Amino acid sequence: MYPSVEHAYVASKSFDGTYRKRISFIPGNKAGLAKRRGREVKLRPDWKKVKINIMKKLLHKKFMYPELRNLLLLTKDEDLEEGNTWHDNFWGNCKCKKCKDIPGQNNLGKLLMEIRKELKEDKA
């Protein structure tokens, strides 16, 4: 069990049970700390191939909670983007001066829109 999607995602970067347990003990309000710990771990060999699918599975679990599912559905058909200023152009679209002309991949936004679509279809 992990206190946030960020914690679970970071723990998934490794097969090392001790590392995963350490991540689980980081308080829920310290997701940034969990993220920093994830930069220090030796990545599992298949990480580049599996990380998007792992994030999607974790987001599915997150949006099983009715209040969170409803919040996502309230975005209707809006384009969702993980805007940031910390140079993350894989999960989002960094808006800093250095990255302003680099289009982000916005993989988190894309996953959220996919999940929203699936939730809408389930309601129909």
Reported as a pLDDT band with limits 50, 70 and 90, residue 82 is very high
Does residue 83 sit in helix, strand or coil? strand
Q: What is the spatial distance between Cα 16 and Cα 74, in angstroms, rounded to a whole number? A: 38
Residue 89: what pLDDT?
A: 96
- Residue reference for tokens 């829920």: 28
pLDDT in tens, 33-69: 999 999 999 999 999 999 999 999 999 999 999 999 9
Choose among 74, 80, 10: nearest CA to 40.
10
What does pTM read for this prediction? 0.92
- Residue reference for tokens 């058909």: 77
Reported as a pLDDT band with limits 50, 70 and 90, residue 100 is confident
Q: Which domains does the chain have, with CATH numbers?
A: 1-62 (1.10.357.40), 65-124 (no CATH)
- Residue reference for tokens 């983007």: 81
